[in-house]
Structure 1
Amino acid sequence: MLKKAFFSLLHTLGYYSRYTSVLHHPGKQLLSQTCVLDFNADEKAFLEDSASSFNYAIDYSLGYRQKEQYLVRLQDVELLGNSGALVLDGNVVVESVGEVSRLAKSDAFKEVSLLLPKRKAGRYTSVLFLPWADNNNYHWFFDCLPRLYLVLEHTQEPIKVIMRRDMAPYQLETFAFVLKDYPQAELVFIDKHEKWRLDEFVLPSFITNAQSGYLPHEVAEWLRHKVWKGYAVEQSGRRRRIYISRAKAKTRRVLNEQELLPLLERYGFEMVRAEELTYQQQVQLFFEAELVIAPHGAGLTNLLFSEQCQVLEFHPANLIKTHYFLLCKALGFRYSALVGTTGDRLENYTVSVEEVEAWMKGIGV
């Protein structure tokens, strides 16, 4: 009884220990059915290695189901400016934050009692996904912007799209690129200390799955072309070979990178540190790339903007992640993984220089 009373008190104070689902809400509009991807034997082997490294918490070797896509029209809800979460009848809407586990991982859902409430009339939507997309380009391009495709392509009525002013410049830029061709959409800004009570809200589903950059063809092409056009990508005809270094990162560094660089230089690769480039420069660079080698990291998000390329991704043996394999699967890019030594506490590891050269010879570089 005491435990129940404690959680009821937290709930009353705004610390939302409860949640609700709108998957069966009468306002749900189904836009596409689920589908299952097919994998060949080599792809299944990679996926099983990945599953093993995570103790089979996620095992896509047994099958990968693309989520259904939908919109849910809700009335009289609250949007939390610190997270983008929706609150319906006093409960956090699971589908506004992706999954139940996010509720436990973010302090943002425990600050709502401090937010300043404002009543807002009209029709709204949002794809805020904080703190995960806070200056993280992977979450921005795979968890946030693709959801706008569902809203903008299937909502003809005037709608206000909620954004935060304090987002990274590339996020504000690419957000504007996406909205540009939709006159029914108006951009409005919410403060992180506000919660808005909204008459009507159009909630788009998340499109990507956990550890996956897979986007349906029509969504990926829509987003790629919006960003290419927005950044005025040049059709230079130049084909580049790039290696993305994480030497300045705190985690997932290739410890023997200095042994690797002479080999890469001999095969015409240029070393790139993504953090030293503007986002327009990153998009142009990846658009021109024909070969990309990189340790796993958010820098590989920009594969989304490659016109056509082949990819070699490094992984520590104890953390083999599937995000960019599934992105390449969606885009039709040839993908290979090279598994290095077991990562240390910062996920740093070494890779075999000989295996890198064998890969390059194998694809005829």
Structure 2
Amino acid sequence: MKNDKQIILFGTGSSAQATEALVNRVNLKVDGYTDNNQQLWGQYKNGKPIFSPSNLNIHHHIIIIASMYKKEIAEQLDKLGFIEHQSYLYPENFMFINNKYTYVKEEPIFPKPTNILENIDTQAITIYDNQEMLQYSKPIILDSKRYPNFIFPQQDHPNGEVSIQILKDAYTLGNSGIIFDNQVQMIRSLSTLSMVNMGIWDGRRWDETFFENLVPTPFLMKLNGNIAVTSTRWSGVNYYHWMFEELPRFYILKKSGIRINKFISNFRGYEFQKCSLEAINIKQDDIISSSDSYGFQTETLVVPYSPYYDSGYVSTWVCDFLRKTFLDKFTLKENKYKRIYITRGSARYRKIHNEEALIEILKKYDFKILDMGNFNIYEQANIFNSAEVIIGIHGAALSNVVFCKPQTKLVEIFNPLYMPTMYWGIASQVGVEYYCSIGKSLDTHFNETEIEILLSKDIEVDLEQIQKFLTEYL
């Protein structure tokens, strides 16, 4: 693809970070960045220069758009003489198939959806008649306030069977695994999306606006055989969403006994994805990466379905599956980590500003300071299973509470603007004592339509609350 041209990323934010990781997985390298923010020109990111778009040259550069403003940047590049899918590319069009990456650009266009159906009659295989979920335990809140998130159910408790749905000549599109029948009618009940809004998990589903906002227009590829869809929206980039939403889909597909030719997955080549697929004997050769930039028409589409997937609730069978898979008797061993604090040292956002003061207090109580980014899944499972007390700010690393022994104590630290409760739910399923500490938000500005702002805000932890836990509950 590259020849003697330099690869330039258009954008310098979090999307650029993820895109550079993708470029590295394709065995290429980024040579520089460009951005419309003049204040960044002349600076460096990851040791590479950031320069003005006016310096771009079609003869010397290949551009990969690494920004949420794809449509606007594409129009800007068109005016500079760059050609879509030739001299400027979209990261979503890099498809992982047959254990290698290829750029999709020459297939026919995905047909325009014709309707949205609530449900459809399909051939189905029941895996679980009804999902069990233990009642949430009473949380211990380390301040005197009452928070609605921990008082009222955030939405109706989902119920119903876990099953495999089989459709003929059906279509699928996007990282959420949106499902269409053979008339290109979207099947709402099988097309799920987890959304966070105002700190509350909301099981809303895709609607017509999704199709209006697709950029670029998605391509269509045709696949023969039994094609399974495991993709869920955020599982391509997030440990929690992969472990609790997508990986269980692989599990129930294997449990069904259906021979699957290919899995359409939000697989992005992260080590936790590779390790977990290997643990359940799924070969990377059988994976095709999903994307909002291309979809598939299938001979037989196999869809694992659970009403829990887009609700924020976690059922007991998912917890049992993860514990049996990763708490392996051959790898499980005692370690020295009994009291642990989980730092987000390697994360780019949602950090604790007064973490040094917090760590100073915790070390007096023999806490070990750990970054889960330094451990593989088996090691993380082992650490959490051996721990007696765990403290950490809300983040994907707390997914590992599923591996804890009963009566382990978990203290989850929150930004008051963002308080999703999935780890409280998981703790309840495995018998962990759940505590929460509400910190102080350092920036109260937010727009409910810009959910990433809520997700990323740093906080200042309330040290008095932590001291209360250490003196009253240890």
With structure 2 as the length reference, what TM-score do the two structures score?
A: 0.61
Match in the other structure for 2:178? 85
Partner of 2:280: 178
Counterpart CA distance in 2 for 1:343 and 1:103 is: 35
- Alignment match, 1:318: 417
Say if 1:86 and 1:283 are closer, same or farther in 2 by CA, change over 3 A.
same
- In structure 1, how many angstroms separate the alpha carbons of the residues matched to 2:146 and 2:327? 35
Deviation at residue 263 of structure 1 after TM alignment: 1.3
Determine whether 1:287 maps to 2:287.
Answer: no
Name stretches of at least 5 consecutive residues in structure 2 with no aligned partner.
Answer: 1-108, 194-203, 446-455
In the alignment, is the contact (CA less than 8 A) between 1:15 and 1:111 conserved in 2? no
Contact 1:75 1:198 in 2 (8 A): yes
Per-residue deviation, 1:143: 1.1
Measure how far apart 1:44 and its partner are. Answer: 11
Letter in 1 for 2:226: R
Partner of 1:304: 402
- The equivalent position to 1:69 in structure 2, one of 155, 162, 168, is 162
User: What code does the residue aligned with 1:91 have?
Assistant: Q
Q: Which residue matches 1:359?
A: 469
Instruction: Check the 8 A contact 1:341/1:350 in 2, yes or no.
Output: yes
Counterparts of 2:133 and 2:323, CA distance in 1: 23
Gaps of 5+ in 1: 1-11
| Rounded Cα–Cα distance in structure 2 between residues aligned with 1:17 and 1:44 | 49
How far is the alpha carbon of 1:127 from its aligned partner? Answer: 0.9
Q: Does structure 1 conserve the Cα–Cα contact (< 8 Å) formed by 2:132 and 2:315?
A: no
Q: Aligned residue for 2:261?
A: 160
- For residue 336 of structure 1, the aligned residue among 423, 432, 435 is 435
Q: What is the DSSP-based 3-state SS (H/G/I as helix, E as strand, rest coil) of the residue aligned with 1:302?
A: helix
Greater displacement, 144-153 / 255-264: 144-153
Larger Rg: 2
How big is the shift at 1:187? 6.0
Partner amino acid, structure 1, of 2:129: S
The answer to whether the Cα contact below 8 Å between 1:214 and 1:329 also exists between their aligned partners in 2 is: no
Displacement of 1:60 in angstroms is 1.1
Native 8 Å contact 2:139 2:435 kept in 1: no
Aligned to 2:368: 270
Q: Distance in 1 between matches of 2:137 and 2:426?
A: 16
1:136 partnered with 2:232: no
- Do the aligned residues in 2 keep the contact of 1:73 with 1:201 (CA within 8 Å)? yes
Distance 2:123 2:112 in 1: 27
Distance in 2 between residues matched to 1:264 and 1:198, nearest whole Å: 55
**2: CA distance, partners of 1:14 / 1:311:** 49
Task: Give distance in 2, aligned partners of 1:319 and 1:21.
Answer: 31
In structure 2, what is the equivalent of residue 256 of structure 1? 354
SS at match of 1:60: coil
**Number of residue-to-residue matches in the alignment:** 338
Q: Read off the aligned partner of 2:355 and give its amino acid letter.
A: E
Using a 3 Å threshold, how does the CA distance of structure 1 residues 72 and 210 change in structure 2: closer, same or farther? Answer: closer
> 1: CA distance between counterparts of 2:409 and 2:279?
27
Moved >6 Å (runs of 4+): 43-48, 104-109
Relative to structure 1, the CA distance from residue 78 to residue 45 in structure 2 (aligned partners, 3 Å threshold; closer, same or farther) is farther
The Cα shift of 1:96 comes to 4.0
Residue 44 and residue 284 in structure 1: after superposition, are their counterparts in 2 closer, same or farther (change >3 A)? closer
**Do the aligned residues in 1 keep the contact of 2:228 with 2:264 (CA within 8 Å)?**
no
Alignment of 1:224-243 (within 5 A): 224-229=323-328, 233-236=331-334, 238-243=336-341
Where 2:169 maps in the other structure, the secondary structure is strand
Q: CA deviation at 1:119?
A: 3.4
Identity fraction in percent: 19
Further displaced range: 71-80 or 156-165: 156-165
Q: 1:319: how far off? A: 2.2
- C-alpha change, 1:62 and 1:113, in structure 2 (3 Å) is closer
CA distance in 2, matches of 1:45, 1:273: 24
Give, in whole Å, the separation in 2 of the partners of 1:65 and 1:166. 29
Structure number with the higher helix fraction is 1
**Hey, what does 1:245 align to over in structure 2?**
343
User: Structure 1 residues 358, 158: CA separation in 2 closer, same or farther (over 3 Å shift)?
Assistant: same
In the TM superposition, residue 98 of structure 1 has moved relative to its aligned partner by 1.4
- Secondary structure of the structure 1 residue equivalent to 2:331: coil
Residues 261 and 286, structure 2, Cα contact 8 Å, conserved in 1 = yes
Residue in 2 aligned with 1:3?
A: none
Shift of residue 226, structure 1, vs aligned partner: 1.3
Aligned CA RMSD, in angstroms, stands at 3.7
Residue type of the partner of 1:359?
Answer: F
* Partner amino acid, structure 2, of 1:32: D
Alpha-carbon separation, structure 2, partners of 1:282 and 1:34: 27
Note the C-alpha offset of 1:351.
2.2
Please name the residue that 1:19 is paired with: 116
